[in-house]
Amino acid sequence: MKAWRSVRRVVETLLDLLYPPHLYCICCGNLIDATRTYHLCDHCMAHIRWDTAPLQQLEKPVAETAEPQCMVQDADAANGGGYASAEKRKSAVGAADFFDADSGIPEMQKLRCVQYGLYERTLIFSLKYNGKKYIARDLAQIMADRLALAGLAFDLIVPVPMFLAKQQQRGFNHAALMGQHLGKLVGKPCYAKALLRTEHTLPMRGLSPTERKLNVKGKFALNRKYAGALKGKRILLLDDFYTTGSTAEACFAQLCEASPSAVYFLAFAAK
């Protein structure tokens, strides 16, 4: 595995030398000059739906809406994993609502950078499925600016974890990558292993809100090694998307086990 990672790093470095990422818009791939904010072309900059609302303005959608088209191929979908099979979806249904956190921790306040849509989804998919890890730096800068605009103070960052086998397959956890870049930008630690995803979960796309809740039920755990580091702290929980909030709420319940003083949720994109 180590040898394979080394080979992959060499290939990525060579590709960066051949095709310097800063010369291309991170969303549409058009040529840009180095002065562009977030390495976005004028067209994408104008079409991305930036959010400037204050904290807690992020509402849970009551119904699923159609997935927007995307400029980037979804590798999971191409492999048949983008939408859960009918059988898998059926097996995920059947239990009642399971959120019973009675921890005394204030309700999680939420923030998004952009409204979920074609351009916004393309940015994340380019990072997740096309392996363009350099995009995480720009997304982290967008997050840093968004946090500054909202005036949100926090002590540390905890990214939503991936199941280890899936992370090894992809080679990285995109949320952790964004969290690490964000941590450097804002001068806060990022604890990528503070939460663990203990079991494989189905891709959320294509699942109903109830199915999403059941899909993540019992699949996250607090890493007890970090309980002391999180106690009494203001945690910024970070993920790429926020749709029904199932993943965020499941992570919130686990983080509460460490008795933080507050948990905020930052999504790059949300509906």
28 touching Zn ion, by CB under 5 A = yes
Strands (DSSP E) contained in 72-120 are 109-115
Stretch of residues binding Zn ion (CB under 5 A), selected from 2-10, 33-41, 63-71, 95-103: 33-41
Stretch of residues binding Zn ion (CB under 5 A), selected from 43-51, 67-75, 92-100, 166-174: 43-51
Q: Would you give the binding string for Zn ion spanning residues 222-241, x where CB under 5 A is met? A: --------------------
Which residue, 136, 243, 151, is CA-closest to 190? Answer: 136
Length of the chain, please? Answer: 271
Of the residues 38, 41, 252, 265, which one makes contact with Zn ion according to CB under 5 A = 41
Decide if 148 contacts 192 (C-beta within 8 A): no
Residue 118 CB, shortest distance to Zn ion, in Å, is 12
Phi, psi of 239 (to 5 degrees): -150, 170
Decide if 198 contacts 220 (C-beta within 8 A): yes
158 touching Zn ion, by CB under 5 A = no
> How many residues of this chain bind Zn ion (CB under 5 A)?
6
Residue 99 CB, shortest distance to Zn ion, in Å, is 39
**Which is nearer to Zn ion, 118 or 204 (by Cβ)?**
118
Contacts of 108 (CB under 8 A, 6+ apart): 237, 248, 249, 252, 263, 264, 265
Q: Which residue ranges make up the site for Zn ion (CB under 5 A)?
A: 25, 27-28, 30, 41, 44
